[in-house]
Amino acid sequence: MFVSTRGKKMVNSFEAIVKGLADDGGLYVIDEIPSLDYKEMLNDDYITIATKVLNAFFPEFGYDVIFKEIKEAYATFDINEVVTLKETKKAFFLELFHGPTLAFKDLALVVLPRLMSLSKKRLNQNEKTTILTATSGDTGGAALNGFKDIDNINIIVLYPNNGVSPIQEAQMCSFRSDNAKVIAVEGNFDDCQNIVKEFFNENTDLSISSANSINIARLIPQVVYYFYSYINLLNRKAIKTDELINFDVPTGNFGDIFAGFYAKLMGLPINKLICASNKNKVLTDFFNNGVYDKNRDFYKTNTPSMDILISSNLERLLYYGLNCDSSKVRDLMSSLKMTGKYDFKNPFNEFYASYCSEIDTKEAIKSLFNNEGYLMDPHTAVAYKVYLDYLKETGDQSKTVVISTASPFKFPESIIDSLDLPKSENAFEMIDIISKNCNVVIPSVLNYGSPIQEIWEKEKVKEKLRAVIKC
């Protein structure tokens, strides 16, 4: 069963998935953290591990149903094991970008639509549901792909105009499906996210849900690759049984790293969760001084998926840090809404937080490629640079897995700049330049039609959304 971070009313898996956001504006968390013994999964492949993790959280579906849906969902990935773990001299890189839109969001967003469709049927909900989601770049394309042609579900994606990479925008704006709509909003990601949250709270008469990681079924599939990584390292004898390891995560909305926190609570031997931010370092400041304050300049950086000042999933961490006291969570969220900040004495010693500048991001890409031939996207580079700083600061020799969230081909301009390669004004020409100079094969899915952009003024979005959804 699930409860809201802001209230104690319990709902089952189906209700939590279909609603997405709780009626009181809170996020759903499971009422009792399940435990899993990784030692019992040493011979399991990714799909089986995923089934066991999801079944632990959503047992109402039944193990066999979950296995079938996951197996079919991951059939579109271009490698057998869904993800892959690469080793460099100082860290392991968990590549999560081998899905249909080349980003880690695919891992959850090929599963969520299937669980939502099943949930609607179990709840005997026959009306059409509209998925409304905000994206800082990767969620949009992955959600559009995941919900394509799903019966009885429409999807609307909001993204910040001029706030995503050209490839991310091409993925979304060239997407064609009768049940999908993509809107560029004149504002930043936080504006898009706030619009979505306010729209949910103000339009309870509409059948709407979310594909962001605020939806618990978007979050839980991300827990899987933490277990998979540990089991993989153990099987290749890179670590010993029960050895503590670190996970280093490029972080914006705090969903991916919170999935790691859930994995730790479930029993996975995790030492540190390294929270890596870009210049929009609101999370770094929060973990280091106990104050969450979004009242600061917003920067557009070379890591657009992390250009966020309101990290929604942090609310789930607060809930556990406050001993599941939903009234205290409500107070903090009210303070955030009214003043833009709140104070919180951080009790979580498993987190380390720091940030990386744009210049250091480029240097990290260049250094690792020139020295070891491994090419990483800028978001992964932020995480890697923060890990190197952590290593220098602490001397912690624990094995560390860097979460590699996107293909470098999704951010060709950053790669070109970092490696001092010949420039081009065309993103797809830059992809060819990278492939030839770095000897890296271009993923076949990077083939888009003509993008068509629709731009809405921020102040008019909610009014227009209601008209579109009711139509």
pLDDT one-digit tens code per residue, 206-259? 989 888 788 999 999 999 999 999 999 999 999 999 999 999 999 999 999 999
Tokens coding 85: 């773990």
Q: CA-to-CA distance for 115 and 205, rounded, in angstroms?
A: 23
Q: List, in sequence order, the alpha helices (H) in 104-254.
A: 106-109, 112-122, 138-147, 166-173, 189-202, 216-219, 224-235
Q: CA-to-CA distance for 39 and 61, rounded, in angstroms?
A: 25
Active site residue 105: yes
Asked if pLDDT for residue 166 goes beyond 90, the answer is no
CA 97 distance to own-chain centroid: 12
Catalytic annotation, pick one of 9, 39, 90, 105: 105
Q: For residue 132, give every residue at least 6 positions away whose Cβ sits within 8 Å of its Cβ, in sequence order, or none.
A: 155, 156, 158, 196, 199, 200, 208, 209, 210, 465, 469
The reported pLDDT for the residue numbered 137 is 75
CB burial of 197-219 (b: ≥16 within 10 Å; e: otherwise) equals bebbeebeebbbbbbbbbbbbbb
The reported pLDDT for the residue numbered 76 is 85
Q: Which secondary structure element, helix H or strand E, spans residue 353, and what is its range?
A: strand 351-355
Asked if pLDDT for residue 26 goes beyond 90, the answer is yes
Tokens coding 297: 């300049």
The reported pLDDT for the residue numbered 425 is 87
The reported pLDDT for the residue numbered 209 is 87
Q: Can you tell me the mean pLDDT for 175-181?
A: 86
Cα dihedral 358/394/248/411 (nearest 10): 20
Tokens coding 216: 């618990």
CB-based burial label for 450 (10 Å; 0-12, 13-18, 19+): exposed
What proportion of the chain, given as a percentage, has pLDDT over 70?
99
Asked if pLDDT for residue 174 goes beyond 90, the answer is no
Helix, strand or coil, per DSSP, at residue 339: helix
> Looking at 131-140, 276-285, 396-405, which range is the least confident one?
131-140
Cα dihedral 116/118/119/120 (nearest 10): 90
The reported pLDDT for the residue numbered 399 is 98
Gyration radius of the chain's alpha carbons: 21
Q: For residue 300, give every residue at least 6 positions away whose Cβ sits within 8 Å of its Cβ, in sequence order, or none.
A: 162, 163, 188, 307
Asked if pLDDT for residue 311 goes beyond 80, the answer is yes
Asked if pLDDT for residue 430 goes beyond 80, the answer is yes
Quote the DSSP letter at residue 406: B
Single-letter amino acid, residue 37:
D
Q: Of 217, 215, 224, which Cα lies nearest the Cα of 83?
A: 224
> Looking at 26-35, 37-46, 390-399, 449-458, which range is the least confident one?
449-458
What proportion of the chain, given as a percentage, has pLDDT over 90?
79
Q: CA-to-CA distance for 293 and 310, rounded, in angstroms?
A: 9
The reported pLDDT for the residue numbered 213 is 81
> Under a CB-based contact definition with an 8 Å cutoff, are residues 110 and 146 in contact?
yes
Q: Can you tell me the mean pLDDT for 271-294?
A: 96
**Residue with tokens 């409860």, as numbered in its chain:** 3
| CB neighbourhood size of 24 (10 A) | 15
The reported pLDDT for the residue numbered 184 is 95
Q: Can you tell me the mean pLDDT for 290-297?
A: 96
Asked if pLDDT for residue 422 goes beyond 80, the answer is yes
Q: Of 175, 184, 120, 118, which Cα lies nearest the Cα of 144?
A: 175
Total residue length of the chain: 471
Task: Give 91's pLDDT tier (boundaries 50, 70, 90).
Answer: very high
Q: Can you tell me the mean pLDDT for 361-374?
A: 98
The reported pLDDT for the residue numbered 260 is 98
Give the torsion sign (CA, 289, 30, 401, 443).
Answer: negative
Give the torsion sign (CA, 423, 96, 58, 115).
Answer: positive
Q: Of 387, 389, 386, 407, which Cα lies nearest the Cα of 399?
A: 387
Higher pLDDT, 115 or 139: 115
Q: List beta partners, residue 157.
A: 133, 182
**How far, CA to CA in Å, does 188 sit from each of 12, 27, 265, 279?**
34, 22, 34, 15
The reported pLDDT for the residue numbered 192 is 93
Q: Pairing state of beta strands 92-95 and 129-134?
A: unpaired
The reported pLDDT for the residue numbered 141 is 84
Q: List beta partners, residue 74.
A: none
Q: Can you tell me the mean pLDDT for 401-406?
A: 97
Tokens coding 38: 């990784």
Q: CA-to-CA distance for 2 and 21, rounded, in angstroms?
A: 12
